[in-house]
Chains A and B, each alone.
Chain A
Amino acid sequence: MSDLKTAITLHKIVKEFSTGSQTIRVLHGIDAEIQSGELTYLVGESGSGKTTMISIIAGILYPTSGSVSVFGQDIYSLSDDDLVRFRLQNIGFIFQQYNLIPTLTAAENAAVPLVAAGMGRDQAVKKGEAMLDNLNIADQARKLPRQLSGGQQQRVAIARALVHEPRLVVCDEPTAALDAKSGRRVMDLLREVALAADRTVIIVTHDNRIFDLADRILMMEDGRITHDGKTLPDH
């Protein structure tokens, strides 16, 4: 992996939530750089701030202070609509609960980002089918999400995250709802299909079954990065 490039730069990210009179500081000034072409894990206990962190990286949560640069673009200096457009073009999302639209078929679900970007229905669905084919579930393209197993659903979700070929893919606990075997298979696929030279994949997880697949693990505790390495620190 010689052609690592800095894809994302976090600079002094602070995030505070106020609940009534109380203000809780979740992130305490994080500086980090994430390279493309790597599978980066963001791990930590719940409440450690990793979800807030990934939200800020993905451009869906404004930090209280600090700046985020994604592929050289300071995303929080963009207008709201530009930020939405930036996300649509550059970021793919994979959610813990898949969040597939239950009344659309697998192929149609996979095509949603293309449709949102304005592509015609037939062409978008065709691309969605092709993506499902890449993920080896082409035979399930016409089925509705509830007719699919959890692993298959997550693969549809992955297809949706990748169909528009984003440069950044963020995954929130992709294996949490899956059994070990399916989770493993999903991660293998993700690694195989998603990871490319100019693509950054960030995975938030605390599923220790899949830590061995990481290229880099950032560990968070109480709003700070406490570890950065190929593997977890030994205890």
Chain B
Amino acid sequence: MTWIAIRMLTGDRQKFFGLLFGVAFSTLLISQQLTIFINLLERGATAVYNIPTADIWVMDPVSRTPDVALPMPSTALDKVRSVNGVEWASPLLRSGATIRTPEGDLEGVTVVGVDDATLIGLPKTFIAGHREVLYEPDSVVIDSSGAAKLFPPGFDPIGVRLELNDRRAVIRGIVDVDPSFTSQVILYTRYSNALAYVPGTRNRMTFILANASDGLTAKQVGERITDATGLKARTRDEFARDGIDFIVENTGIPINFGITVALGFVVGVAIVGLTFSLFIRDNIKQFGALKAIGVTNAKIRLMVAAQALLVGLVGYGIGILLAAIFIALGSINSPDFKGFYTPWEIPVLTAFVVLTMIMITGWLALRSVLKMEPAEVFR
């Protein structure tokens, strides 16, 4: 019986492709907007995820995100090291500064000072240079999107001298990190250098990165640190989450993208729903005849479900592929989309949304068929 349903559906190419377009378009719109939304939010977490080595971040109790943080006195590091269960702890400085480029432009940067001895806090991937360049005097490492922002395309920034708070800073490496929400240029340097680059305040150590000993979870050790030192300890994922929440609470992004996603859903439901209803209405006599001949409502439902599934499958396939390609190409080619990816949840979620959409429209269209008395075919 389902093959008859499919033949009924695909017989009218115009409506069929209209349906496909509707589903594909709303799939594309929903998944692409959701992806951009999620990725923008996750920009709040990049500062945390860019540091692969630490599973606990310790900070002043009032600190909220990697960029909204109050520095601590330097002995806090020893206090954290003294907590049983802390495998190691190392200091991290994050602070804003302004640099003067060789062209004389002013640019706000985030200076990240990593532990002098171990360089804990450096990102993993170097595009140019290597970790050890940081041991050279006045050496800084720039992030790739920051380099793209400061310098013209094709320019090799290695060896460029910058003026950082009247001090010399020489770019000696480029790291590959995802830009932060504000997409400020990030300069990595050693902690002792960073102290010199950043205007002096009493306390400078913004964070302490720590790791839990074997057999203990980051959460447990974080609680121990808080108990012992009174400092706030967040696990890596918690702190990433904090960064995201901060954006959610302080920007209009969720509402804007929420509206777009809702629009995508509404447009999808409208296009698909109208076309599907139109299609069913066109075939209402045939459905009536089938009902009279002896096709049960259950079978009619099955037929409409088969039609909806086919439209959903093909439309979703087209739409989701376009969305994935869009994001993948965007993240390769555009610095604005750098680090963007499609979280696997989004295609799944979109599939459910599309399924819901198609089921709702199918059900709406089906209602007229189910309600129809077979006797109406005799009129």
Contact = CB atoms under 8 A, between A and B. Distances in A.
- Do the two chains belong together in a single complex? yes
Interface in A28-56: 51-52, 54-55
13 contacts: A61-B374, A86-B294, A87-B292, A87-B293, A97-B285, A99-B377, A104-B8, A108-B7, A113-B293, A115-B4, A116-B290, A160-B293, A172-B377
Contacts of B11: 102-104
B202 interface: no
A113 B294 CA distance: 8
A85 interface: yes
A58 interface: yes
Interface residues of B, number: 27
A85 B296 CA distance: 8
A85 B295 CA distance: 8
Given A55-B378, A84-B294, A116-B299, A99 B7 contact: no
A234 interface: no
Interface string A112-155: 11011100010000000000000000000000000000000000
B373 interface: yes
A89 interface: yes
A195 interface: no
Given A103-B8, A116-B290, 13 more contacts: A58-B292, A60-B375, A60-B377, A84-B294, A91-B294, A100-B286, A103-B7, A103-B10, A104-B7, A108-B4, A112-B290, A121-B3, A160-B293
Residue of A89, A117, A204 with most chain B CB atoms under a 10 A cut-off? A117
B1 interface: yes
Nearest to A118: B1
Interface in B1-25: 1, 3-4, 7-8, 10-12
Interface of B: 1, 3-4, 7-8, 10-12, 283, 285-286, 288-296, 299, 373-375, 377-379
A179 interface: no
A87 B294 contact: yes
Nearest to A204: B378
Given A99-B289, A103-B11, A116 B378 contact: no
Contact of B285 (A52, A58, A99, A204): A99
Interface in A54-70: 54-55, 58, 60-61
A93 B289 contact: yes
A199 B277 CA distance: 39
A112 B283 CA distance: 15
Nearest to B286: A101
Contact of A95 (B283, B289, B373): B289
B296 A84 contact: yes
A81 B296 contact: yes
A99 B288 contact: yes
B8 A101 contact: yes
A101 B292 contact: no
Contacts of A89: 294
A88 interface: yes
B142 to A, nearest CB: 63
B300 to A, nearest CB: 10
A62 to B, nearest CB: 9
Contacts of A100: 286
Contact of A60 (B8, B286, B292, B299): B292
A38 B278 CA distance: 42
Contacts of A121: 3
B294 A85 contact: yes
B54 to A, nearest CB: 63
Given A61-B373, A93-B293, A101-B286, A51 B378 contact: yes
Interface string A189-223: 00000000000000010000000000000000000
B4 A88 contact: no
A93 B10 CA distance: 26
A116 B10 CA distance: 19
B4 A104 contact: yes
Given A60-B374, A85-B294, A112-B293, A103 B12 contact: yes
A116 B1 contact: yes
A54 B12 contact: no
Contacts of A97: 285
B258 to A, nearest CB: 41
B323 to A, nearest CB: 31
Contacts of B7: 101, 103-104, 108
A84 B296 CA distance: 6
